[in-house]
Each structure stands twice: as C-alpha cells, then as structure tokens.
Structure 1
Amino acid sequence: MANRWLRPEVYPLFAAVGAAIGICGFQLVRNILINPEVRVNKEGRAAGVLENFAEGEKYAEHGLRKFVRNRAPEIMPSINNFFSDPKRN
C-alpha cells in the first residue's frame, strides 16, 4: 500500500504541497506574533481599536519589501538583458 504512494512521480507534488503549507504556516505565525491588528490575549482584545500607526507601518514595511522596492521586477535580470538589449545585437 505504501509503495503505491511513494513513487518518484509523486515527489514534486509532495514538495509543492509542503512548500505551500510552509508558506501558509509562516504567514500564520507572523500574523499571530507581530501583526498589530491581531490580539490573542484578553487584555489586547479589551483595548479595542488602537490608533497606533507607527506599529502598523513597521509591520507593513518589513525588510523584504524595503529590499525589493527599487529593484526591477525581474527574476533573472542578466538573461533578460542578454535577450532584450538591442546594443548586444
């Protein structure tokens, strides 16, 4: 029975599902721990809506967003430049 599910053709599916579960888990933990709008403890829920814009800005402007802000939206810039730059032809 186990041999039917552990064929080599199924490994990419396991990897894709595992990556998706990992990304969802990361986002869940990130939101529970540092999102200013999520309050898990009783005191935080009793506080109601807080007008703490600095904490929200800190959450929204994380390190990855700051890193990619001024970069071109390319996955492989050197290959894109090689095929699209007219000066090379």
Structure 2
Amino acid sequence: MASFTSSRWLRPEVYPLFAAVGTAVGICCMQLVRNITTNPEVRVTKENRAAGVLENFSEGERYAEHGLRKFLRSKNPEIMPSLNKFFSDPN
C-alpha cells in the first residue's frame, strides 16, 4: 500500500506544486513570527499585557517601516522593467 501511495503522490509533475505550497507556508510562518516578535500591539508575556494601551508611536513606526518597504520605495512599480523599456523606448 505504501508503494502505491508514494508512486501516486511523488511524481515529477507534483514537485512544482510542493514547491509552491512550501513557499506559501514559509511566507505565512515568517509573517506570523514577525508579528509575534516585533508587532507593538501583540503582547505575549503576562507583564506586557498588564501594561495596557501604550502610546509607543516610535515602535509602531519602526514596525511599519521595515527594511523591505524602505528598499522598494526607491524602485519603480514595474514587474518587468527591461521588457517595459524595450517596448516603450523608440530607440
């Protein structure tokens, strides 16, 4: 029975599906860990929850303005810039 299951699901055609699902699960896990560890509104320990509502605007701004957002802010919002340049420039 085990050989039937492995021959059914471990075909070469299924590998891209495993890669896509694995990437999606990895991104979700990364975002969950980021929210638990650095989000100023999430308090895991009892001492932090007892503090109540904090006015910590600098910590919230640090969370919202992370490195990826700062990096992408200086880039053009294009998916394929070289292809766009090829078709849009008359040269």
Do both share a fold (TM > 0.5)? Answer: yes
Tell me the residue number matched to 1:66. 70
Q: What is the CA-CA distance between 1:2 and the residue it aligns to?
A: 1.0
Q: What is the CA-CA distance between 1:12 and the residue it aligns to?
A: 0.9
TM-score (norm 2): 0.90
Counterpart AA for 2:18: F
Q: How many residues align?
A: 87
Q: 1:19 aligns with which of 18, 23, 27?
A: 23
Residues in 1 aligned to 2:68 and 2:79: alpha-carbon distance in whole angstroms? 15
Counterpart AA for 1:81: K
Residues in 2 aligned to 1:79 and 1:50: alpha-carbon distance in whole angstroms? 48
- RMSD over aligned CA atoms reads 0.9
Residues in 2 aligned to 1:32 and 1:81: alpha-carbon distance in whole angstroms? 41
Q: 1:34 aligns with which of 38, 45, 49?
A: 38
CA deviations on 1:22-50 (whole Å, 9 max, x unpaired) are 00000000001111110000011111111
Structure 2 residue runs without a partner (length 5+): none
Question: Percent identity among equivalent residues?
Answer: 76
Moved over 4 A (4+): none
Residues in 2 aligned to 1:52 and 1:42: alpha-carbon distance in whole angstroms? 18
Structure 1 residue runs without a partner (length 5+): none
SS of aligned partner of 1:37? coil
TM-score (norm 1): 0.92
Tell me the residue number matched to 1:52. 56
